[in-house]
Structure formats: structure tokens, C-alpha cells
Amino acid sequence: MSKKAIGIDIGGTGIKGALVDLKRGRLLSERIRYATPEGGTPKAIAATLRDLIKQLPQTDGLPVGICFPAVVSHGVTMSAANVSKEWIGLDADKLFEKELNRTVHVLNDADAAGLAEAKFGAAKDKRGLIIMATLGTGIGTALINNGKLIPNSELGHLEIDGVDYESMASFAAKERDQLSFDAWAKRLQKYFSRLEALFTPDLFIVGGGVSKEHEQFLPKLKLRTPIVPAENRNSAGILGAAHWARKNSVD
């Protein structure tokens, strides 16, 4: 069985992709980046993916995993954040398979980042319940139990103090409200304490661009559960998506 796949990470501003070695959890090509087309329609994004895949070496017959900032149920995108509303209710697996002429599996972006950590990062070979939270424009979450993903947890939208807490504790909220790391950590404390009370996880993993500054905020959190930064930073989505594609494809 070939241990390679193409991983693609679609975001509101950029689309990144690479060829992935799934045995070692490493990129086998450069990371290619395109701007997300204006409007983010399914057709325009599919055309960008076609161009992107053409830039990658030796991709014949390889499946494609794509992560996307939306709830994705069995390949159907159920929501759309920062992209066209045409994605809502769309069979994205089917559309991309037709447009790219290969096997395609789409999943939520935080789920991909969580899988990357479970297979190749901070949660490699760990048993028990792991909650990954990506702190970016929103808060994405992934639940991984004994190495298996429970998809679409969407715990960034947990309601605390009557508000969708993503709007208080995401990295975008820190920027918007010009919070110091100390002030932001108070909100993160509330958020992670609530997750801890509800799920009793064995490990929290924190991802998103700001996780490279983890020393500024993770030590300020008082939790029973260990909390660590993600190991796969810029390529987490690509690695997790590629893993998902291979896992769901029959050779």
C-alpha cells in the first residue's frame, strides 16, 4: 500500500497543499500556497486546487485529503466560515472528485489538526481522550479518543456567560480587544476549565499560529489536565488531511 497522499488546507485567505509521506508524517514536496479566490465559491476553489496539484511532483493516482473551516459530515460541508454560502449542504467530496478526477475526502480543519497531532505530534501513541483546540480567527476543536477521531465537535461555540465563547477566547478576540497575554489567559482559563469539567480529558493540545508563543500563556493556566502546544504548526492541516484521505481510501 502506498503511504503517500496529497494534503490540502483551505482557509479564508489562503489555500496550502503538499505531497505527504504518511509513514513519517513529513512533507515530500514544498508547501504550495495560493490566495483563496475572491468569494470562495466551490467552483473557483476547485479550479485553484487543480492548479495547486499540478505543481506537486509524482501525484498519479494518489488520493487527496482536504480540510476546510466548516462542519463536514460524510463529505458534505454543512456550514461555511469566511467562504461562499454555496458550501452549505454541498457534497464537497463529490464535487472535488469530479473536478480533480481523483479520490477526495474532506474534513473539518480542526479535526485535521487534531489527527496530525494524534498520528505525528504531541499525542502520538497516546491513549485516552485528547482535546485539541486551535486558537485563530475562531476556535476549532478536535476530540480524539484512543487515537480515533470523533468528528465535528465544534466546542469553540461552547456557550459560557451567555455568549458563544469563541467570540471571547479566540486569538482574533485577543487582537480585537487588544488583550495582554495575562488578560487573554483569564478567558482561556474559563474556557479550558469548562471543557475539563464537561469531558475530563487526558490531554489538551493547543494549536493555531499563536501556539508558537505558548510560553506566554499556557503556564498561566491552572488545570488538572496537562496542556501542551501542538507540534505540527504550519503543516498540521495538510498532514491531518492527507492522513484522513489515505485512511478512508481503499487501495
**3-state secondary structure (DSSP) of residue 177:** coil
Going by the DSSP 8-state scheme, the letter that residue 163 receives in this structure is E
Inter-residue contact 171 to 213 (CB < 8 Å): no
Residue with cell 487515537: 147
Decide: is 140 part of the binding site for ligand BGC (CB under 6 A): yes
71 lies in the site for ligand BGC, by CB under 6 A:
yes
Which of 134, 140, 142, 157 lies closest to 209, judged by CA? 134
Q: Can residue 138 be called a binding residue for ligand BGC (CB under 6 A)?
A: yes
Q: Does 70 bind ligand BGC (CB under 6 A)?
A: yes
Q: Give whichever of 19 and 206 is closer to ligand BGC, judged by the CB atom.
A: 206
Q: Which is nearer to ligand BGC, 25 or 136 (CB)?
A: 136
Task: Supply the minimum distance, in Å, between the C-beta of residue 170 and ligand BGC.
Answer: 8
User: Distance between CA 67 and CA 146 in Å, rounded?
Assistant: 22
Kindly state whether residue 108 participates in binding ligand BGC, applying the rule CB under 6 A: yes
Closest separation between CB of residue 206 and ligand BGC, Å? 13
Q: Which of residues 159-218 bind ligand BGC (CB under 6 A)?
A: 166
Segment interacting with ligand BGC, rule: CB under 6 A, options 18-26, 56-64, 105-113, 240-248: 105-113
State whether residue 239 is helix, strand or coil: helix
Taking CB under 6 A as the criterion, the residue among 78, 81, 88, 179 binding ligand BGC is: 81
Among 17, 42, 69, 229, binds ligand BGC (CB under 6 A): 69
Burial class (CB in 10 A: 0-12, 13-18, 19+), 45: buried
* Displacement of CA 163 from its chain's centroid (Å): 23
Rounded Cα distance between 112 and 135, Å, is: 14
Residues that bind ligand BGC (CB under 6 A): 69-71, 81, 108-110, 134, 138, 140, 154, 156, 166
